[in-house]
Amino acid sequence: MKKLVSQCILECISLDRELGLKMLAAFRDVWLAISERNSDKEAQTMDEYLRYRSDNGGML
């Protein structure tokens, strides 16, 4: 998933550099917010684990 998103953002940058760089910054900010949320907590139940994975599954 990360590779696909990277390819899409690179294509956007090649089409419109300014807008593509804004998209990259937004993606980076969102990715960091998702990947760092609850990253220090270990899931205690399967439901907690699945909720965490559904939030960041495509981002890691």
pLDDT (tens digit per residue) in 40-53: 677 788 988 887 77
Range(s) of the domain holding residue 36? 2-55
Residue 15 pLDDT: 96
**15 within domain boundaries:** yes
Count of the separate structural domains present in the chain: 1
Q: What is the pTM of this model?
A: 0.51
**60 within domain boundaries:** no
Contacts 24+ apart (CB under 8 A), 5-12: 5/58
- Distances, alpha carbon 34 to alpha carbons 7, 10, 16, 25, in Å: 20, 21, 26, 14
**7 within domain boundaries:** yes
